[in-house]
Amino acid sequence: MRSWLAVAAVSLGLQATVAHADRDPQSGAPLPAGQPQVASPLTDHFYLSASLFDPGYRTSLRADPSTVLTGTPLNGEHDLGFPGHQQQGRVEAMLRMRERNRLRVDYFEADRSGGVLLANPIVFGNQTFPAGTQLASSFDWRLITVTYTYSFWRSDRLELASGLAAYSMQMTAQAQAPATFQQQTVSASGSLPALPLDVSWRVSRRFSLTARGAYFRATVKDFHGELVDLHGDAQFRWNANFTTGVGYWSTRTALTRESTTAPGVVHFDVYGPELFVRFSF
């Protein structure tokens, strides 16, 4: 009798182990027989990425005075001496809610300064800097992106998602001539919505490709804004929780404001390759 009880106990234990092994440890959903879940961008419930980003910049700006005149159109890299390349760090985090809902947060900042001897006079805000002035200037940029996506197509190798993204930007530009005690600072901040599209493809057990883009363009009264954001990368997963990869990021922003408060134009392009490490589960 005891032997039969022992056999029954072992049999029940084996059945419980098999039943547990056939379920996703995160969601509890049953898995296909003989196909254990493979760690990939399609199964990550959370990740945190740190990137070394080597971007190139293209900066065009015009700060109009409060009068009816317009400011001088300036190229930041040629006219103001801003560096065209500058290594930066980027951080990104993603949280998956259930299987199809994802929330991603990105942060990027770029602070640059330059100095030039003006060959021609320029109007920057309410200041006019004459030719021959030694001009020192700076341009600081902050960008925070929050993106929600819903996966309208999802399989064990491919995921397609779309939703809504919000881009929050802050810009501060300053020009000063110490010899003539002139200084002008202009700043602007705001948020833009965008329509995103995300694609994730698990090529093999360790290798994956992801791509995403977002677009916005609108004119409202005295404001015109346009944004194009593109990103793609290739990832190699060393184990279930650690990934390295290479990618390319390009963002083009064009803002025009014609109101009486802080009128002007800013076109700012960021583009370049990146190396990143990612911790996920």
Please, which residues have CB within 8 angstroms of residue 151's CB and are 6 or more apart in sequence? 99, 100, 101, 102, 159, 160, 161
What's the whole-model pTM score?
0.82
Span 129-159, pLDDT tens digits? 999 999 999 999 999 999 999 999 999 999 9
pLDDT in tens, 196-215: 999 999 999 999 999 999 99
Q: Where are the domains of the chain?
A: 1-37, 38-280
Q: Are 169 and 189 contacting, i.e. CB atoms less than 8 angstroms apart?
A: yes
User: How does the average pLDDT of the chain come out, rounded?
Assistant: 87
- Taking Cα atoms as reference points, which of 100, 102, 103, 135 lies closest to residue 117? 135
Average pLDDT value for residue range 31-43: 74
Q: What is the pLDDT of residues 216-262, one digit of tens each?
A: 999 888 889 999 999 999 999 999 999 999 999 999 999 998 876 67
Instruction: Give the CATH architecture of domain 38-280.
Output: Beta Barrel (2.40)
Do 200 and 158 form a contact (C-beta atoms < 8 A)? yes
Tokens 């009068």 sit at which residue?
A: 67
